[in-house]
Amino acid sequence: MLRHKVYSSFALKCPRCLKGSLFVNPSLLNLKTISDMPACCAKCEQDYEIEIGFYQGAAFISYTLSCLLMFGILGISLIVLRTVPKWVVGVAILAELFLMTYILRVSRAMWLNIVVHYDKEIAKGVREG
C-alpha cells in the first residue's frame, strides 16, 4: 500500500514491519554515520543490504528530490513574487544544505521500498512479540 511506503520512506522505518529503524544513528547531524544502516531490521530481520552496491540507485532519487526542492522554491517565488530575487536563491541553497542529510536517507528508504513490501503478518507478529 502506498501509505505504508510513504510512512516507511519519510519516517525512515523498515518497509516490511514499519517498526525497525533503517539507520544506526538517528541523528542527522553526524556526517560520519549518516548512511550507516544495520545489516537487517532489529524487529523483523528483513535484510537491508539486498545486494552489493544496492543503494547506488538511490542517488537518482536523491538527485530528483533535490531538484524538486530547489525548483519548487524557485517556482513558488516566480508564482508569488513574479521574479526570483537573490535572497530566494539563498533560501533555496540553505534549504538544500539543511535538508541534504535527510534527503540522502529518504532516498535510500524509497529505494529499499521499491523491492521490499509491507507484510501485514510480519508486522502483526512484531507488534505482539
Residue numbers at the binding site for Zn ion (CB under 5 A):
14, 16-17, 20, 41, 43-44, 46
DSSP 33: G
Pick 40 or 70: Cβ nearer Zn ion: 40
Minimum Å gap between C-beta 50 and Zn ion is 14
Q: Which residue reads 552489493 in cell numbers?
A: 52
What cell numbers appear for 68 in the block? 524538486
Minimum Å gap between C-beta 128 and Zn ion is 14
Minimum Å gap between C-beta 16 and Zn ion is 5
Pick 5 or 43: Cβ nearer Zn ion: 43
Pick 20 or 61: Cβ nearer Zn ion: 20
Pick 14 or 103: Cβ nearer Zn ion: 14
Length of the chain counted residue by residue = 129
Residues 6+ apart with CB under 8 A from 125: 44
Minimum Å gap between C-beta 40 and Zn ion is 8
What cell numbers appear for 80 in the block? 508569488
| CA–CA distance, 40 with 97 (Å, rounded to integer) | 29
